[in-house]
Amino acid sequence: MKEFVNIGMIGISGRGSGMLRELLKCDGVRVPAVCDKYEDRAMNGKKIVEEEAGNTPDVYLDHKELLARDDLDAVFVATTWITHARIAIDAMRAGKHVAMEVGGAASVEECWQMVRASEETGKFCMLLENCCYDRKEMAIFNMVKQGMFGEIIHMQGGYQHDLRDEISLGRENRHGRLFNFQHRNGELYPTHQLGPISKVLEINRGNRYLSVSSFATKSRGLNEWIKANKGEDYDLANYSFNQGDVVTTVLKCANGETVVLTHDCSLPRHYSRAYRVQGTKGIYMEDGNTLFIEGFTKHEDNWMHPGEDFDKYLEQFEHPLWKKYQIDGVHAGHGGMDYLVLSAFAESVRLDAKPPIDVYDAATWMAVTCLSEESIAIGGAPVPFPDFTNGMWIDREPYRRGVFCLDEVCSDFFEEK
Ligand SMILES: NC(=O)c1ccc[n+]([C@@H]2O[C@H](COP(=O)([O-])OP(=O)(O)OC[C@H]3O[C@@H](n4cnc5c(N)ncnc54)[C@H](O)[C@@H]3O)[C@@H](O)[C@H]2O)c1
């Protein structure tokens, strides 16, 4: 393992600045270069590095100039949904490993370009899907691997987050979401829920998604919020947003499971990823935080029983990574998962080895966005899912085992030596 690696940071707005601070806390990471096309944000990146690490990084406004450096082992891309894949492709072609923030793909073509860039250069592209490292998601993964749910039949998840202010004020805040809601209509943000779901379903490793069907409601939430908060005269008050308030997507798997995703960001609501794991032995449901496992959880003999509180079982099924993390000290950032996903990335760069979320995962999870747009445009008809592994999903090279592995619970890596 390399003692130190150099990582360049591209995109330093709200997300990029928070993640840059966490990245600098990961073992063996140095950041000698930062970039944002807005000068004030690039300069903020420089300030963060100076505060956290003590060195003064070079500042770039053009990512291609940063990528021309020959001292970078990797880059971290936290730009907008329609730019991050392009920059990731440029970075791999410039000989750098990539960490890429989450978001959906603009086109199937860009997903193929990511796959080809990684295959041709040998550089990895890790999607930083932090929810794969959430404490509950990891405990549930551990339960799945112990067979607690039996054979998995159906899964659900959602990005259900009231973002009406962030979306509507996109121009004032120079934020990327608004233009997507104006012009697109689809499952715009699939990966927070689809990441953990795909790891449970072993997608691209013996299973794959076959088709996507999506349906969108009408759009009302943003107009109502804008009228109430910016007034009837605000230019977007009566704008006809393309994005439906609630988008429902159904994915069918080669091994017979179904997945339902919900995108719900423009109506008043509480936050929920609505995770649901259902198998032949029982079910977990995030909404209500309940667990029912036949013959294991306790409940009255009454068909209306509410299931048991999942938290009662959290410690029993705690993933060993989270056991260790709680002893070492959990970092801030979405309940601690941000630091874990960054540590997983930093470890892969230092080892120059496969990441736990690879380019096939990234392309598959992100492609749901543009496929769902196509399906909605043709009345919800199923759209075939490309196989980004080009047939290798039935016989893949093994994943890399380790503490951050998301394909298996590698308990032996946590044993005292
Ligand atoms: N994993 C999570 O929990 C989480 C949370 C929030 C945001 N995100 C993701 O992080 C990303 C960034 O989110 P944000 O809220 O900071 O978005 P944002 O729109 O506020 O910021 C994007 C930044 O990228 C910069 N940028 C765009 N193109 C560039 C280029 N070619 N070169 C250099 N800089 C460029 C913009 O100037 C801007 O500062 C998004 O993909 C978002 O989905 C993830």
Q: Give pLDDT tens digits for 289-301.
A: 999 999 999 988 7
Q: Give pLDDT tens digits for 75-109.
A: 999 999 999 999 999 999 999 999 999 999 999 99
Q: Give pLDDT tens digits for 151-183.
A: 999 999 999 999 999 999 999 998 889 999 999
Q: Which of residues 298 and 353 earns the better pLDDT score? A: 353
Question: Is the CB of 79 inside a 6 Å radius of any atom of ligand 1?
Answer: yes
Domain extent listing, the chain? 5-130, 132-320+359-414
Q: How far apart are CA 244 and CA 300, in angstroms?
A: 41
For 27-44, what is the mean pLDDT? 98
For 319-335, what is the mean pLDDT? 92
For 349-366, what is the mean pLDDT? 98
Question: Is the CB of 208 inside a 6 Å radius of any atom of ligand 1?
Answer: no
Say what the pLDDT of residue 417 is: 64
Smallest CA separation from ligand 1 atom 21, residue: 13
CATH superfamily of 132-320+359-414: Dihydrodipicolinate Reductase; domain 2 (3.30.360.10)
Question: Is the CB of 190 inside a 6 Å radius of any atom of ligand 1?
Answer: no
In DSSP terms, 309 is beta-bridged to 290
Q: Give pLDDT tens digits for 179-236.
A: 999 999 999 999 999 999 999 999 999 999 999 999 999 999 999 999 999 999 999 9
- pTM for this predicted structure: 0.97
Show Cβ contacts of residue 367 under 8 Å, excluding neighbours closer than 6 positions: 105, 108, 111, 385, 386, 388
Segments of 142-222 assigned E as strands: 152-160, 209-216
Fold classification of 5-130 is Rossmann fold (3.40.50)
Smallest CA separation from ligand 1 atom 14, residue: 15
Q: How far apart are CA 12 and CA 9, in angstroms?
A: 8
- Could you tell me if 346 and 28 are in contact, meaning their C-beta atoms sit under 8 angstroms apart? yes
Question: Is the CB of 265 inside a 6 Å radius of any atom of ligand 1?
Answer: no
